[in-house]
Every structure is written in structure tokens, then in C-alpha cells.
Amino acid sequence: MSDAQAPIKRRTAVKEGDERHDAIYRAVSDAIVEQRLKPGARLREDALSEVFGISRTGIRKILQRLALEQLVTLTPRRGASVTRPTADEAKDVFDARQLIECGLMPDVARRMGEKEAAELRELARQEREALRSGKQSVAIRLSADFHVRLAQLSGNATLAEFVERLCSRSSLILAVYGHRGHLGCESHDHDDLIGYLEAGNGERAKAFMSRHLKAIEASLSIVDEKDEAPDLREVFGL
């Protein structure tokens, strides 16, 4: 092998490793949102390493990534566990979303065009289809994607990034304490919101977003459950 070929092979190996880590990250994230991994469930590095066939160092990086999204909690000497949202945390998250997302609606309305409206309607359509098909975790993710995209359309990248984090936390809260087959709001809510934004009615969109978020929060049923040690091979079908 020539010296010129070596860097190419190393870059390929790194890319394949990154793709493998991304796949494992998605698998664990989906298992959390789908509640195959319950809140409080311990995620032992050695067990995950054995299940997925990668090093504990690789697993640790994946758990740290999940911890940044607050899907996983890392505790000294105890290790990683699935985050257990509390009623107070849920309230804090939705209060923050009320302040930020509602406040962004007038800016979104001013920047809304046909292309942006079509993109949002497609996300809303996919969300409804996922719910009809019983794919709750997919619907939750698509709903989060919808709200994140709205925030991005405001033109404020800093607040959009914050909304993305809040939506990630909301996804776990909704997955754990929401109702199967329903996201706590009417299926046409997102389409109605798009209509107000497309018409340039930012204040109406702001009021509608407030009611929308309150309906989702009101639909939650938060109950305490005991911690458990899951069978990881069963959870991931391995």
C-alpha cells in the first residue's frame, strides 16, 4: 500500500466508525422514546459494549451524547441510566417552550413563504401518518422536528438551538407520560398553525402556539415507577 492510499483508508475507517456509533445512538434513543428502556433503567457500559460489539470507550461517547440531550443521566459511581423526568421538570420545559416558541411566531410569520409552508405541511403529514400507523416514537420525533424547523425559520439561530434541546427533552417526557396514539393535541393543530403563519398573522399564530403547548402539557399523566435493570439483548433484539 502506498503512502497516498493510507490516509484514504484511515478516513474511510473513521467514517465507518462514526456511522456505526450513529446507528447505536439512534438504536438507544429509539428504545428510550419507545419505552423499551424505561425511565430509571441502568445502562451499564460493559453490557452495552457486549450487546453492540464496540469498545466501552465508544459506548461512553454515545452515552455522553445522549446525556447532552438529557435522554440519559450520568451519575458518579452509579453510571448511566435513562432519565426520569419529574413533574416539575416537565413544567419547566413547557414553560420555557411557551416563552421562546410563542415569542418567535411573529418573526416566523414575517419570513414564511410558499416553500417553507410546504416543507412544514409535509412534516405535519408524516406525523399524522406515523400516528395512524401506530409509530408513536416516529410521530413524536416528527412533531419535535416540526417545532425545531419553525424556530429555525425565525432567523434566530441561538434560540432555535435552545428550542431543539427543549424539544428533545419534551420528546422523552411525551414518550414516557403521554398517551399511545395521541400527542396531546388535535391532529390538525400543526396545519392550522401553518395557515396563520402563511397568512402573516403572527399574533394569531402566537396565541395558537400557546394553546397548542398547553394542550400537550395538560395531556401528560406523570406517575412514578421503580428503577429496573433491563435485558439489553431482549430490548435490542440481539
CATH of the domain at 151: 1.20.120.530
Residue 237 is assigned to a structural domain of this protein: no
**Measured at the alpha carbon of residue 31, what is the angle toward residues 189 and 140, in degrees to the nearest 5?**
5
Q: What is the rounded average pLDDT of the residues 42-57? A: 94
104 and 57 both lie in a single domain: no
pLDDT given for residue 129 in this prediction: 94
CATH of the domain at 43: 1.10.10.10
Asked if residue 143 and residue 77 are part of one domain, the reply reads: no
User: What's the burial of 36, exposed, middle or buried (CB within 10 Å: 0-12/13-18/19+)?
Assistant: middle
What's the whole-number mean pLDDT along residues 168-196? Answer: 85
In a domain? residue 229:
no
Q: How confident is the model at residue 223 (pLDDT cuts 50, 70, 90)?
A: low
Confidence (pLDDT) at 29:
85
Span of 5-14, 115-124, 165-174 with lowest mean pLDDT: 5-14
For residue 28, tell me if it sits in a domain: yes
Domain around 153: 87-218
Name which of 74-83, 96-105, 178-187 the model is least confident about: 178-187
Asked whether the CA dihedral 29, 34, 39, 44 is positive or negative, the reply is negative
Q: Please tell me whether residues 45 and 151 are part of one structural domain.
A: no
Q: Does residue 230 surpass a pLDDT of 80?
A: no
What pLDDT sits at residue 14? 47
Helix (H) or strand (E) holding 42: strand 42-43
Give 87-138 pLDDT, tens digit per residue.
Answer: 899 999 999 999 999 999 999 999 999 999 999 999 999 999 998 998 888 8
Domain count, the chain: 2
Residue 136 lies in a domain: yes
Cell of residue 8, nine digits: 484514504
**Domain termination site, one of 82, 111, 129:** 82
Global pTM reads: 0.75
Residue with cell 398573522: 201
Q: Is the pLDDT of residue 11 over 70?
A: no
Question: Residues 94, 204: one domain?
Answer: yes
Q: Which of 22, 51, 82 is the last residue of a domain?
A: 82
C-alpha to C-alpha distances, 48 to 55, 111, 162, 175, 235, nearest whole angstrom: 9, 45, 30, 22, 11
Task: State the helix-helix crossing angle for 189-198 and 87-111, rounded to 10 degrees.
Answer: 40
Which stretches of 69-135 are DSSP H helices? 87-111, 114-132
Residue 70: enclosing H or E segment and its boundaries? none
With beta carbons less than 8 A apart as the criterion, state whether 166 and 90 touch. no
Question: Region 61-73: what's the mean pLDDT?
Answer: 92
Residue 73 phi, psi (nearest 5): -110, 130
Assess if residue 68 is contained within a domain.
yes
Q: Which of 22-36, 48-62, 151-165, 203-217 has the lowest mean pLDDT?
A: 22-36
Name the pLDDT band for 224 (thresholds 50, 70, 90). Answer: low
What's the pLDDT at 161?
Answer: 93
- Whether residues 59 and 157 share a domain: the answer is no
The pLDDT, as a whole number, for residue 6 is 54
Both 97 and 191 in one domain: the answer is yes
What percentage of the chain carries pLDDT values higher than 90?
Answer: 59
Please indicate, yes or no, if residue 232 is contained in any of the structural domains. no
Q: How far apart are CA 213 and CA 54, in angstroms?
A: 40
Q: Are residue 69 and residue 169 in the same domain, yes or no?
A: no
Do 129 and 211 lie in one domain? The reply is yes
Residue 13 in this model has a pLDDT that exceeds 80: no
For residues 78 and 109, membership in a common domain is answered with no
223 within a domain of the structure (yes/no): no
Quick one: 188 exposed, middle or buried, by C-beta within 10 A (0-12, 13-18, 19+)? exposed
The more confident residue out of 221 and 120 is: 120
- Identify whether residues 48 and 104 lie together within a single domain: no
Judge whether 3 lies within some domain: no
- Same structural domain for residues 102 and 167? yes
In the structure, what pLDDT confidence band is assigned to residue 34 with cuts at 50, 70 and 90? confident
Give yes or no: residues 150 and 166 share one domain. yes
Q: What is the mean pLDDT of the chain?
A: 87
Helix, strand, or coil (residue 179): strand
